[in-house]
């Protein structure tokens, strides 16, 4: 069961068995009103690229105000990173912290995220 996000502005779902099915439910809940959530940590879950893609779709929304996002040890590869980089190119002005540590990211993922950092509107301050 997912927590009520709008009241807390934070979703701390570390290592609690969230899968891409849970990400679909979370993304669906956030889609109508993504402006309340400021922090979301999904680290240690088996999200894979499909889960990251679903959350990335929410990040593309210009009303999304997410500032801190954690996907460490989630099985993310370059494919999921590409979706995340695309979302950050679409809406670069809010995310301040991004944790992708412990994933299987190659050189192309690093290049995609680095390109996002070159955007003058990008506010990302901490990247792991």
Instruction: State the pTM of this model.
Output: 0.87
- Mean pLDDT, residues 26-36 taken together: 87
What confidence tens digit (pLDDT) does each residue in 61-101 have?
Answer: 999 999 999 999 999 999 999 999 999 988 887 899 999 99
Domain 10-127: CATH class, spelled out: alpha beta
Short-list 44, 93, 34, 97, CA closest to 69? 97
The predicted pLDDT at position 8 comes to: 63
Q: What does residue 86 show for φ and ψ, rounded to 5 degrees?
A: -60, -45
Domain residue extents for the chain? 10-127
Q: Specify the DSSP element, H or E, that contains 11.
A: strand 10-12
Q: Output the 3-class SS for 21-57.
A: HHHHHHHHHHCCCCCCCCEEECCCCCCHHHHHHHHHH
Hey, is 98 helix, strand or coil? strand
- Scanning the chain, the segments in alpha helix (DSSP H) are 5-8, 20-30, 48-59, 78-90, 107-117
């Amino acid at each position: 069961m997912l927590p009520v996000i709008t009241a807390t502005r934070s979703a701390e779902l570390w290592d609690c068995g969230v899968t891409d099915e849970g990400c679909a439910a979370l993304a669906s809940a956030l889609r109508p009103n993504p402006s309340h959530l400021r922090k979301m940590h999904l680290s240690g879950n088996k999200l894979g690229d499909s889960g990251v893609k679903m959350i990335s779709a929410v990040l593309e929304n210009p009303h999304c105000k997410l500032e801190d996002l954690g996907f460490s040890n989630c099985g993310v590869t370059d494919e999921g990173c590409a979706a995340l980089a695309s979302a950050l190119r679409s809406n670069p002005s809010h995310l301040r912290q991004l944790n992708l540590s412990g994933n299987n990211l190659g050189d192309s993922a690093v290049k995609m995220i680095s390109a996002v950092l070159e955007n003058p509107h990008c506010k990302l301050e901490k990247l792991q």
